[in-house]
Structure formats: structure tokens, C-alpha cells
């Protein structure tokens, strides 16, 4: 049965037609796919590029982060030797060598304090849970030996109930604030180890596993602690210390900058305005750094002595300094957003009468803040701080007085008027002119009164920072600044101290202009 | 050799003497030990008692925490069945069943969002790392097959370098803010799994371990997700929602309470003063809840739709509402600590002239704030909010006007004096009396000016909260409050809207008394 010529040629034609119809469609589809792929690749590439750019910025901004990553890489690679090298592998076996790798990956934190805290939590949680689980197993096994029926039901029930109760209790302990702050990870490891040991003990053939596990965990933690302390260590304490004095400095920049901008003559914007604006916004980083301070202080308590810091450095006091800074920053925020950035500037004429003293207050306050930053930075008690605080409080009191005197300044223009008015003028006219002259300028003072009152409140809160920093200096045993300065100045300071302290108390009792 | 009688009696005497000397000492020591033990036990018992008391308080305060603990207990016990029940144990083996227990312990979080986020991170990280590690092993094994010398050096080097590079890179990725916020745990699991798979693959006899591991991890995560969603679920989204509207309510309590206390007549302390004081301090919890809000919002994004919340509920907007609340709380803090708690109260006489309007502003503001809290709580657009905001802004403008008029109020007492003065009086005396009469009361206004200016600034910031909540209502598609109310009131509102909005803008342009 040979197909005739026509059919064959028909078939061929059809195939050619089909091909003709298909080809353009396929071409279209493929070109569409090409376009889609191109767009996808370009989009992906631009995203990856952005991500790389960001990563580069992070690396350049803080090269210690790159070093930390390399340290983690080294630690994980070193601990992998347990697998790669056969003698070690044979000694521990796979299921135990896992624990060394896991320990390193889970425990290695950015800071020494974080790493040490997690290591000690892991070791403590593991040991406690291991011992407890073995004790309970021993009790369970006595019952089992007693029944000796080969039926492990009692052991199973005891183990199950113990796991349930202890897992629940340990989970609840993580809600206690004292546990949450320092032993959260330890509680988790406790649950993990307790369940693992108590169930693995149920299969007696794996009984030596627990010992190997603890020894591999010890190897992992020791490796982490050694690498994190001795290879380019990143100390949480040092970071906290730096964070605090940088933030104090930022407060000074913001306060001085904004007050100067408020009282300066023109509204001329410089080229470096963006840079300047960023500097002025520094107080915002004080407002938002509470969480960082808390976690750094928590980690710092686990760190051994390093650099200028002893083992029991008063890290908690840094949190108090941070709190006092934040309280001051709230007030600066109210000043800046409520008065300075508001649309209702006092007129230049009114400002000028008070600008000098306000600038002085802000500049003296900034000096005090910067001296505090220096005190913390150098860890040396400043010999000038009491003088500076006294000056600041004095100037603040002068501002209070000036605030009271301000209305008098606007009387004089009425005086000559009153003097010029001949006695023949009616008495009815006089009160009218009096109200116009004396009250109109007072209206204009209102924004100035608000901002100066806040400025005086800021001075009060700066005194709070001074107190917190002095307590820190006492607790940490900061030494006096320098010997040659100390010799005379310290005596001078001691002579000045009571007065200055009195002055400080005065300003505290009258933080706002007295009625 | 028998010892003579004397020696024996001597020895006995000596022994008796020794016993005489020893007995009192032993008694002393044992009594000391008893005292020490007693003190230790009492101290320990009191500490344990305190801890239990605290734990009880936490449990009573939020019973959901107790339920969470029981849930963890159940999950860990259930997953332990892998060990206890032999068929399951035989199917997976010890080293893999470990992974199920570990997954449950590590992954089970308080909220559904936290659990889901960790589960998905764990699965994603494990799969990605497993596939990548197997791919690299395949490449390494080709080399190994090529060399075929039995020397695994090349494979070892490739594996080691890959572990080092990927551990470093993955650690670095955890510093990227976008990864840090959502995939931090996934990156850690990636490092862990990659190292484990790439080194365990080096011992081909354990090759099926990877599959078992992934299946046990899947079992663990599925168990966690089921228990956390279906057994008394704790939704992060719901918590965030409640936190926000509770905090808004607290702002209203603090603002209204403090302003009322400031302007009330006597300083009489009631019995319920402590309770009241606690209520007034509510704004502080707004200041300190940033971290909680951020983490809850982050977890809420992982949660499936639940209750009144859809899957893509605008959780990020809650953070913005929180920010605007905090900005308002800063200002309340400045008002309370700078003016109200300050020792320099304005005299009752001065206060009375402005107390009514100030109380009105604070009460209208509180009404607005409470209406916002209700809007969020009921998830229904309030039909009254625009009227309330308009009222608040109107009252705030009246306060501004009153602030301007305030000095006029103190002129009248000088008028009769001026009228009484006979023309025969010298002109020198007149200006002196004028300054005394007109300026002294103005001095007393200063604290009032500061506090009212801050009050007006607070009104501006409340407008900010209104904007944020309205954006939230739009994004989340809140429905109008109720139909019968809507019918007429909504139309009314629409008619009022432009004016009210204008009023709102007005108050924004003039947040502080104009000069």
C-alpha cells in the first residue's frame, strides 16, 4: 500500500504551511522570551548591584563587620576539621561532631560579650539539663528494674511527664525579666538538652552520646571564645562607651547649631547646608539608641576586663547616663520642632534683645556637654567641669532675669512719649497710648518666652546628665585629668565646689522663671 | 610488753582531756554550721518565694503566657515520640530524630508570627543551603573521580574554601538591614546546614542523612505551626493592634489628668492618688514601646489572615501611628516635667484667667485621642472625628487668641489708679507706678505662656496622629462606624469636611502663638 503522489505532496504542503504558520509565532514567542529574559536579567542585575553597593557601604562604614564575618568563616572551617580529619571523626562520630559545628554557628556573636554570654549559657544549660535528666532517668530505671517485666511503660510515662513539665517550666522562666535579660538562651538550651538526653537515654545503646556531646560543645565554645577574644576582638563595652560619648557630642552639636540658626540674622543657606543639617539632626540618634544601649550594656557585663575597663566596670550606669541624655533630647526636640522650626519666628527686632544671652546659654551648655563627652572619652575626671557647670547655671540665671526684665526694655519708648505729652492732654488719651505701647511688643515675646523657658529646662536636664556622669566617674574610679592641672586647679575646684553646687541646686529649684 | 598501770591511766586521762577540749569545739562548730545552714535555707526559701510570687504575678497578669508554656511542653513531648516509639525511631534513627526535637525547641515562639517566621526561615535556609552544598559536592566529586587516586585533598580544599566563603558571606548578609529584619534566622540556618551537609557528604556512608534531616525538620516545623495556630493562638498582629490603641488611650489619660491637676484649685491628695498617679504616667509607656512595636509589626507580617485582619493588613502603618504618638508624648513629657511638675507654679489668680480654656483644650484633645483609639479598636471610621478635630483646633485657636489678650486683662487695675491720680502729681512718679502695675503681672504669665504654647504644640502633634490613623483606616479599608449614624452624619461630615480640614491646616500653620 504505497500512498499516491498527490497525497504525499499534499502532506508535504501541509507540513510546509504548518511550518510557515509556526515559524513566525515561534519567532515571536522566542523574541518575547528574549525580551522578558533581558528585562529580568537587567532587573536582577540592578538589584544585585544595589545590594552590593549597600553591602560595600556597610563594609566601608564599619570594617570590623567584615572582620567579624571572616572570623566566623575561620571558626566554622576549623570546627569542620572534626569531620574532615578521620582520627577526630572516628573519635566522636558524626552525630556528636555535629554539635561542635552547631555550637560555633549558633554561638558566635558580633561582640565578645555576646559570644561569652551565649557560650556560658550553652554550657550551663547543657550541664544542668544533662545532670537533671540523668537523675530522673536513674529514678525511672529503678522502677523499671523493679518491674523487670521488659515493659517500659512506667519509664516512658515518667520521662514523658518530666519532659512536659520541665519544658513548660523552663519556657515560663524565660518570661521572668531577670532570666530574660541574661539567661534566655540558657533556658532554651536547657529544654533542648533535657529532652534530648532524657529520650536518648531511653535507648541505652546510645548512652555515651551524652558525654561526647558535652565534650564537643565544650570544644565549640572554647574555640569561639578564643577566636572572638584574641582575633581582632569587638568589645561590647568599648562600643557602649563610644556610643555614649558620641551621642553626648551630638546633643551639643544639635543644641548649639539650632539655637545659632534661630538667632542668626539672615536665612542664607550655605553650600554645606545638607552636611550641616545632618549634623543638627544628631539628637535624633540619641532618642532612638535605647535598645542598642541596653543590649550592649547587657553583653558588656559578660566581658572580661579589656583595655581601660575592668571586669566589674559599672556598665549599668551608662544606661542611666543614656536615660538622662534622652530626657534632655526630648526637650531639645520640643524646642526645635515647637519653636525653632515653627513658622512663627519672633521678629528680628525682638530677638536681638535676647539673642546674645540665649546664644551664650546654648554655647555654655554645649561646652558643658562636650566636657562631659571628653570626661567619658578620656575616662578622666575633668578639672573644669564644675567651673563650666557654674558658668552655665549663672548664664541661665541671667537669662531668667533677662526674661523678667524683657518687658521693661519696651517701656522706654513710651517714656519719652509720656515725658513729651504736655499736661494739657486729656487723661483718657493716656491709658490708651499706654496699652498700645506696652502691650504690643509683649505679644511678640510669647514665642521667645517659650523657647527661652525650654532652653532653661534644657539646662536643668543637662545638670541631670552631669550628675549621672559624675556618678559614673565615681563608680568607675576615673582619675583626675592631669597632674600639672590637678595640683592647683583641683584645690581651686574644691574651694569653688560648694558654691558651684549651691548654684546648681538653685537652678534646679528654679528651672523655669519664677512667678 | 604490757604497759604499766600509770601509763594506761595517763593515756586515759589524756583522752578524756582531749575529749573535754574537743566536745565543746565540735558542739560550737556544729551549732555554727546549723546557724549557717538555717540562714542559707531561709535566704534561699525567701528568694524562691519572691521568684514564685513574681512568676505568679506574671501568670495572673497575662494567662496567655502560661498557655504558651503548656503549648511548648505539648509540642516537645509529642515530638519526643520519635524516640519513644520504636517504629518511628527505626525509620529515622537517633541523629535525625534530634532535628525534630531541636526544631520544635528553637522555633516555637510566643506569637504565631514569630513561629511562622522562624519555621519558614528554617525550611528556606535548610533547603537553599542543602541544594547549594550538594551542587558544590558534585563539582568536587567530579574532580575526585578525575584524579581517582584515593587522595581526597582536592575535594577537601574545595569543601573547606566553600564553607569558609559561604559562612563569611552569609554572616555578612545578616548585617544588611533588609535581611536582618526578616531573614536573620534563615541566614544562620543556612550557614549551619551548608557546613553540615558539605562535611557530612564528605563521608559518603552518611549520604541519606540529609534527606532524613530535611524530613524531620519539616515534621518539626509543621507540628509547631499547627500547634501555634490552632491551640489558643497568640497573634502578633492582634497584640500590636491592642498595644497601639491602649497606648493612644494612655496619652489621653496623661494629658487630661496632668492639665486638670495643674489647674485645679487645691493640692489635696486623695486616697486613690497612687492609682491615679500610675494612670498619669501612662505616656511613659508610649515613649518606651518602640522596640515592642517594631518586633510585633515584623512578626505580624508573617501571619495569615486572622480575626478581623486580612493577610496583607498594613502593619507598617501601625509603626507610623506609633511614631506620631511618640512625637506627641515627647511634647507631653516636656509639658509635664518642664511646667507642671516644676516648682514654679503660676499663682492661682493668674491661672484662673486661662484655666477654663486650657482645660477645654486638653479635654477636647483627649476626646480626639480617645476617638482615635476607638477608631482603631473597632476598626470603623469614626463619623465624629472631623467634628472633634475641628472643635479641638477651634478651641486651640481661641486659646491662642486668649494668650494674646491675656496682658490686657491686667491693665484694668491700673486704670482707676491712673484716673484717681490728681493732675497735681509730678510726672516723674507716674511712669514708675505704670511700670509696677503693668509689668508685674506679666512676669507671672511666663510659666503659663510656656505651658499653653506647649499645649498648642501638642494639639498640632495630635493632628499628626489623626493623619496617621486616617491613613491606616484608608489602607486597611476600615468601614464607616454604623449605618444609622452614617446616613445623615456622613453627609454632614462631608459638608463639614473642607472647613474642618482648613481649620486643621490653619492650626498647623500657626502651631504657636503668632508674633
pLDDT single digits (tens) A448-487: 777 888 888 899 999 999 999 999 999 988 888 764 444 3
Tell me whether A66 touches chain B (CB under 8 Å).
Answer: yes
What are the residues facing A380 on neighbouring strands? A479
**Amino acid B399: pLDDT:** 87
Contact B330, A334 (CB under 8 A): yes
Of all residues in chain A, what percent carry a pLDDT higher than 90? 31
**Pick from A254, A229, A500: which is nearest to A384 by CA?**
A500
Helix axes A385-409, A348-378, angle to 10 degrees: 170
Rounded Cα–Cα distance for residues B354 and B262 (Å): 12
* Closest B-chain CA to A152: B84
CA distances from A180 to B35, B292, B405 (A): 34, 15, 56
Contact B173, B187 (CB under 8 A): yes
Q: Quick one: fold of A236-264+271-409+443-479?
A: Methane Monooxygenase Hydroxylase; Chain G, domain 1 (1.20.58)
Residue A422 in this model has a pLDDT that exceeds 60? no
A169 vs A213 pLDDT, higher one = A169
- Contact criterion met (CB < 8 Å) for A188 and B105: yes
Mean pLDDT, chain A, as a whole number? 76
**Amino acid B425: pLDDT:** 39
- Contact criterion met (CB < 8 Å) for B331 and A338: yes
Tell me whether A409 touches chain B (CB under 8 Å).
Answer: no
A380, containing H or E segment: strand A380-381
A242 vs A402 pLDDT, higher one = A242
Contact A188, B106 (CB under 8 A): yes
**Amino acid A148: pLDDT:** 56
Partners of B176 on chain A (C-beta within 8 Å) are 51, 54-55, 58
Rounded Cα–Cα distance for residues B217 and B122 (Å): 8
Tell me whether A457 touches chain B (CB under 8 Å).
Answer: yes
**Pick from B186, B158, B179: which is nearest to A65 by CA?**
B179
Pairing of strands B380-381, B479-480: parallel
Partners of A168 on chain B (C-beta within 8 Å) are 69-70, 72-73
Contact A217, A123 (CB under 8 A): yes
pLDDT mean over A148-168: 78
Non-local CB neighbours of B104 within 8 Å, separated by 6+ positions: B72, B75, B76, B79, B220, B223, B224
Q: What is the ipTM of this complex?
A: 0.75
Residue B32 grid coordinates? 555554727
B402-408: which pairs have CB atoms within 8 A and are 24 or more residues apart? B402/B354, B402/B357, B403/A446, B403/B354, B403/B449, B403/B452, B403/B453, B403/B513, B404/A443, B404/A446, B404/B513, B406/B353, B406/B354, B406/B445, B406/B448, B407/A439, B407/A442, B407/A443, B407/B442, B407/B445, B408/A435, B408/A439
Nearest to B330 among A330, A408, A443 (CB): A330
B83 vs A121 pLDDT, higher one = A121
Nearest to B334 among A288, A330, A345 (CB): A330
Rounded Cα–Cα distance for residues B453 and B445 (Å): 12
Q: What is the 3-state secondary structure (H, E, C) of B24-78?
A: HHHHHHHHHHHHHHHHHHHHHHHHHHHHHHHHHHHHHHCHHHHHHHHHHHHHHHH
CB atoms within 10 A of CB B302: 21
Rounded Cα–Cα distance for residues B442 and A442 (Å): 9
Tell me whether A512 touches chain B (CB under 8 Å).
Answer: yes
Partners of B188 on chain A (C-beta within 8 Å) are 105-106
Contact B98, A96 (CB under 8 A): no
**Amino acid B148: pLDDT:** 56
Residue B313 grid coordinates? 493588613
Q: Which pLDDT tens digit goes with each residue over A81-120? A: 776 766 666 666 666 677 888 889 999 999 999 999 999 9
Rounded Cα–Cα distance for residues A173 and A177 (Å): 9
Rounded Cα–Cα distance for residues A55 and B171 (Å): 12
* Residue A509 pLDDT grade (very low, low, confident, very high; cuts 50, 70, 90): very low
* Distance from the A231 Cα atom to the nearest Cα atom in chain B, whole angstroms: 15
CB atoms within 10 A of CB A131: 13
Contact B212, B92 (CB under 8 A): yes
Residue A434 in this model has a pLDDT that exceeds 60? no
Burial class (CB in 10 A: 0-12, 13-18, 19+), B169: middle
* Distance from the A485 Cα atom to the nearest Cα atom in chain B, whole angstroms: 38
Positions of chain B with pLDDT lower than 50, given as ranges = 1-3, 8, 266, 268-269, 271, 411-441, 483-515
- Contact criterion met (CB < 8 Å) for B172 and A430: no
Domain definitions of chain A by residue range: 66-230, 236-264+271-409+443-479
Nearest to B515 among A98, A176, A347 (CB): A347
Tell me whether B128 touches chain A (CB under 8 Å).
Answer: no
What are the residues facing A480 on neighbouring strands? A381
- Contact criterion met (CB < 8 Å) for A453 and B446: yes
Amino acid at each position: 500500500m504505497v500512498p499516491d503522489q498527490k497525497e504525499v505532496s499534499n502532506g508535504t504542503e501541509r507540513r510546509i504551511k504548518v511550518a510557515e504558520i509556526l515559524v513566525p509565532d515561534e519567532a515571536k514567542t522566542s523574541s518575547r522570551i528574549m525580551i522578558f529574559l533581558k528585562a529580568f536579567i537587567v532587573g536582577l542585575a540592578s538589584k544585585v548591584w544595589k545590594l552590593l553597593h549597600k553591602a560595600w557601604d556597610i563594609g566601608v562604614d564599619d570594617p570590623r563587620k567584615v572582620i567579624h564575618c571572616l572570623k566566623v568563616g575561620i571558626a566554622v572551617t576549623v570546627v569542620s576539621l572534626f569531620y574532615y580529619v578521620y582520627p577526630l571523626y572516628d573519635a566522636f562520630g558524626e552525630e556528636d561532631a555535629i554539635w561542635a559545628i552547631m555550637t560555633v554557628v549558633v554561638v558566635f556573636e558580633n561582640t565578645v560579650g555576646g559570644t561569652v554570654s551565649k557560650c556560658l549559657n550553652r554550657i550551663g544549660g547543657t550541664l544542668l539539663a544533662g545532670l537533671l535528666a540523668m537523675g530522673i532517668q536513674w529514678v525511672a530505671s529503678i522502677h523499671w528494674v523493679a518491674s523487670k517485666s521488659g515493659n517500659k511503660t512506667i519509664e516512658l510515662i515518667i520521662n514523658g511527664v518530666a519532659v512536659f513539665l520541665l519544658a513548660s517550666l523552663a519556657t515560663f522562666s524565660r518570661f521572668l525579666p531577670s532570666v530574660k535579660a541574661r539567661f534566655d538562651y540558657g533556658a532554651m538550651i536547657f529544654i533542648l538538652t533535657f529532652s534530648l538526653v532524657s529520650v536518648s537515654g531511653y535507648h541505652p545503646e546510645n548512652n555515651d552520646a551524652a558525654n561526647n556531646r558535652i565534650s564537643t560543645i565544650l570544644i565549640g565554645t572554647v574555640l569561639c571564645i578564643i577566636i572572638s577574644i584574641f582575633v581582632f576582638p569587638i568589645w561590647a563595652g568599648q562600643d557602649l562607651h563610644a556610643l555614649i560619648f558620641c551621642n553626648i557630642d551630638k546633643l551639643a552639636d544639635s543644641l548649639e547649631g539650632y539655637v545659632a540658626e534661630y538667632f542668626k540674622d539672615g536665612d542664607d543657606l550655605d553650600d554645606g547646608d545638607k552636611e550641616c543639617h545632618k549634623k543638627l539632626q544628631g539628637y535624633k540618634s540619641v532618642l532612638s539608641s535605647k535598645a542598642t544601649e541596653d543590649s550592649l550594656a547587657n553583653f558588656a557585663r559578660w566581658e572580661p576586663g579589656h583595655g581601660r575597663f575592668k571586669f566589674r566596670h559599672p556598665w549599668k550606669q551608662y544606661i542611666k547616663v543614656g536615660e538622662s541624655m534622652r530626657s534632655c533630647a526630648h526637650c531639645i526636640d520640643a524646642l526645635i520642632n515647637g519653636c525653632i522650626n515653627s513658622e512663627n519666628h519672633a521678629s528680628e527686632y525682638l530677638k536681638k534683645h535676647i539673642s546674645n544671652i540665649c546664644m551664650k546659654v546654648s554655647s555654655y551648655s554645649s561646652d558643658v556637654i562636650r566636657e562631659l563627652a571628653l570626661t567619658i572619652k578620656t575616662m578622666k575626671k575633668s578639672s573644669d567641669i564644675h567651673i563650666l557647670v557654674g558658668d552655665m547655671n549663672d548664664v541661665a540665671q541671667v537669662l531668667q532675669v533677662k526674661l523678667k526684665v524683657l518687658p521693661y526694655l519696651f517701656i522706654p519708648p513710651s517714656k519719652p512719649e509720656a515725658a513729651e505729652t504736655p499736661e494739657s492732654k486729656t487723661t483718657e488719651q493716656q491709658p490708651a497710648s499706654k496699652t498700645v505701647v506696652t502691650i504690643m511688643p509683649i505679644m511678640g515675646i510669647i514665642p521667645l518666652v517659650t523657647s527661652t523657658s525650654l532652653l532653661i529646662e534644657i539646662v536643668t536636664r543637662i545638670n541631670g546628665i552631669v550628675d549621672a556622669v559624675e556618678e559614673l566617674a565615681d563608680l568607675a574610679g576615673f582619675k583626675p585629668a592631669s597632674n600639672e592641672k590637678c595640683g592647683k586647679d583641683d584645690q581651686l575646684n574644691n574651694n569653688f565646689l560648694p558654691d558651684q553646687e549651691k548654684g546648681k541646686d538653685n537652678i534646679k529649684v528654679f528651672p523655669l522663671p519664677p512667678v
